Structure 1
């Protein structure tokens, strides 16, 4: 329960600004560029520092890094709440991202250390995955409720009591773990890892927001080049930031990261459409839309623990493949939605969430089980970095499909801004144009949903193939290593 506190808060901070932006704009008067950075800098700092913080946690101690991150997160929350300028808020959000990057791999690494029994670890990771998904939904609802009664800074102060509680309880209840022989810390790999992750995530986000253009494409290409240099350095140095031991054949760690990234691709790709559908197509207020969006989370909450129970009786490769198939069915439901299909969209979101959380819980457990115990935080950071890539790619690919269809459907006589986005079309006074825009958006969502369902079917087949045999085993890496030595 102590380790769920930072996890809930980090995931909540992904969505906590959704409804606070209008109030922030009125109070701080940010420019358009500053407003984008207020929203995005948290995710960028989080994604860019995950690999570094995972490796650092293995070296200095996961509990110690957790406490450092909690203190940073608490301080940043207070400075964000009382920010007097847009630049101050951007800096505070960046510090929140730094804190989040320390908290996430530390919590998962500690779970790997504390629960050595396969059954208990599987249950713990299932709860961890459910809390992660629930925190994102909870953040938007809490921010909506608090903004009804308090000023915008209150959405950040939610974090402070939980962080104080974490700082008090963690030294008492959570044991310390670290690599007994970590070796030197490869400082040069830190900027290389950030140079590989940040340009790619930024470019993919720009694709999702604005469609394809040369500048984001150059960013993605530059990130891939730096990534190749980073990978080469990891393969040739003994003190590498990422241990080559994680990727030894037969462990299934690489397969787990790949499948987890595809799962996040599907989750964020669907969220891109469902959130806009509920609020813009159906015309709900922000708070009402947020409350309706919680409904699918109720079904998602039971999926991860149930999946871990089933996976103890059925080959987990087939359970993971079933999770992908279930999510594909959810996308089919989205493809059947019209302009007044609230329950169809909610059902689709719930089914997608159940399938994806099933996949994420099982592949996360598999990745942690396959990693040496002294490298647990590094393994967790790679898993979560893959999630960042997958989420950005899902919004870019499926969002681009939807946007292309939307623009093709909109009449040439419509204003240029209305042909670009649904929000711009609805902002005008032309009710006929607004109706056409809603239909075009839904049409784009239908095409994207078909594409998403096909990708998930392929992912299910790949999961059944990639995880066959030893890769699907859940025994810890050290246990399999001891058995191999005994056999030899």
Structure 2
């Protein structure tokens, strides 16, 4: 019953990401964000989560994981209402940032509770599989719920769904979840918390400025400052008696590889999740609800894979499953390189299902390795590391590959006569579709056709980069895991 309660915020966090992707065309038409603002709306949530996860995971070890979960749930509900009624891109970005801070309390709290509630290895792996399946269920439900809401209500309604679910969690959590805390935990190092957040955001801001204005001295300064602060943060952790991040965990080769593979998987997965809903609506021409329905097969593949992975891992060597899964995911992205501007619905669906089936074992096995390597009293810190790799990988994927795709789009539209009079049309495909409504039929047709060609070219390029990246990750993981002498993989094997 406690595991069922834990699943609620997991479903919600996943829904929040997928429904936003569906709402992007609508909020872009309503609020008129620039290309950079649109990227910030999409991924500031994830970057705030990534920057705050380590702090929140350690905080949960100190004040209690259930208490932190409930505090975060209440905060998440309030921030959702603020996002729903935002009237400008800046307001929505700010609300999404607050949502990210609240969400940073949810994932490490739930995962560390699982670590303490299920101490036997086999049970823990099954529980983690169900935990990941709850995220997959949210991803599957989100597009359908979001599509229905967008058919009848304004885009802000997709955020209001969060409020009643969080109220249920606040009622059932104290009744069904046990409390866990480290009775010997030291104080939370506020300086480390600030360093981790600022380091992540400095690098991200630099990447985004480079995507919008090109590389310059300010971009270089921001990225170098963020990386330097990250190095200072890591050095500080080595000196602290109670570090925010337990760097000793990285002495295990399997642990380090698991974190790296997890980050790479989410890097490529989140970038394509940003594009597929837009492709289905703005290129294929589906309604939001129809687009939501056609993303269901991918979500179902995630759920099925999450439930099957513990059974497969009990019969095959875990490292072999991991490497094979990366190759399957790369195959799915290879299929997505074949989408075209005329609307390749079947290709988009098949490719999405294939990479979903491939990435599910990656997420489940790497999460189990990371969490299982930590002692129970440090479960919050380990869970935070796992979730940090998830969120940082995913949001970096949106920022980096999203910027690449948008650069392709802007480059193609810059020389397009039909877009000459509209900055919004040259910035995003959503802006082009909105601008076309103000033109004559012939001009509108030419503008939309050019925008679809440009958007599809960017999506094809990001899918191709993902194929190469996943195959390289599989090769590197095979070499490193072949040399690994760490206990977690040997025990699973």
TM-score range, shorter chain: 0.7 to 0.9
Distance in 1 separating the partners of 2:69 and 2:255: 24
Other-structure match for 1:462: 476
Deviations 1:124-179 (A, max 9, x none): 11222232234245334323312434455543332233223222322232222222
Q: Does 1:169 align with 2:184?
A: no
Other-structure match for 1:348: 351
Q: Are the counterparts in 2 of residues 330 and 351 from structure 1 also a CA contact under 8 Å?
A: yes
Q: Map 1:26-425 onto structure 2 (within 5 A).
A: 41-78=44-81, 80-81=83-84, 92-150=95-153, 153-205=156-208, 210=212, 212-214=214-216, 215-250=218-253, 252-339=254-341, 340-406=343-409, 412=415, 414=417, 415=419, 417=423, 421-425=428-432
Q: Are the counterparts in 1 of residues 199 and 230 from structure 2 also a CA contact under 8 Å?
A: yes
Q: Are the counterparts in 2 of residues 370 and 475 from structure 1 also a CA contact under 8 Å?
A: no
Distance in 1 separating the partners of 2:451 and 2:149: 32
Task: Flag the 1:90–1:262 CA change in 2: closer, same or farther, 3 A.
Answer: closer
**Matched residue SS, 2:468:** helix
Instruction: Report how far residue 15 of structure 1 moved.
Output: 3.7
Instruction: Report how far residue 20 of structure 1 moved.
Output: 5.2
Distance in 2 separating the partners of 1:434 and 1:84: 27
Other-structure match for 2:439: none
Distance in 1 separating the partners of 2:170 and 2:263: 32
Distance in 2 separating the partners of 1:243 and 1:441: 43
Q: Number of aligned residue pairs: give it.
A: 474
**Matched residue SS, 1:467:** helix
Task: Flag the 1:282–1:472 CA change in 2: closer, same or farther, 3 A.
Answer: farther
Q: Are the counterparts in 1 of residues 136 and 300 from structure 2 also a CA contact under 8 Å?
A: no
Deviations 1:243-265 (A, max 9, x none): 23322335x22221111000001
| More off after superposition, 349-358 vs 141-150 | 141-150
Distance in 2 separating the partners of 1:153 and 1:420: 23
Q: Are the counterparts in 2 of residues 118 and 474 from structure 1 also a CA contact under 8 Å?
A: no
| More off after superposition, 339-348 vs 176-185 | 176-185
Distance in 2 separating the partners of 1:123 and 1:230: 35
Q: Are the counterparts in 2 of residues 105 and 380 from structure 1 also a CA contact under 8 Å?
A: yes
Q: Are the counterparts in 2 of residues 402 and 441 from structure 1 also a CA contact under 8 Å?
A: yes
Distance in 1 separating the partners of 2:55 and 2:328: 35
Q: In the alignment, which of 426, 443, 451 is matched to residue 457 of structure 2? A: 443
Deviations 1:346-400 (A, max 9, x none): 1001111111122011101111111121111111112222222212332344334
Distance in 2 separating the partners of 1:248 and 1:474: 14
Task: Flag the 1:408–1:25 CA change in 2: closer, same or farther, 3 A.
Answer: closer
Task: Flag the 1:89–1:408 CA change in 2: closer, same or farther, 3 A.
Answer: closer
Deviations 1:274-314 (A, max 9, x none): 22321222122333222222232112211122122111111
Q: Are the counterparts in 2 of residues 118 and 475 from structure 1 also a CA contact under 8 Å?
A: no
User: What is the RMSD computed on CA atoms of the aligned residues?
Assistant: 3.2
**Matched residue SS, 2:5:** coil
Distance in 2 separating the partners of 1:460 and 1:292: 29
**Matched residue SS, 1:275:** helix
TM-score (norm 2): 0.85
Distance in 2 separating the partners of 1:119 and 1:158: 35
| More off after superposition, 79-88 vs 421-430 | 79-88
**Matched residue SS, 1:473:** helix
Instruction: Report how far residue 56 of structure 1 moved.
Output: 0.5
Task: Flag the 1:364–1:228 CA change in 2: closer, same or farther, 3 A.
Answer: same
Distance in 2 separating the partners of 1:238 and 1:6: 32
Other-structure match for 1:473: 488
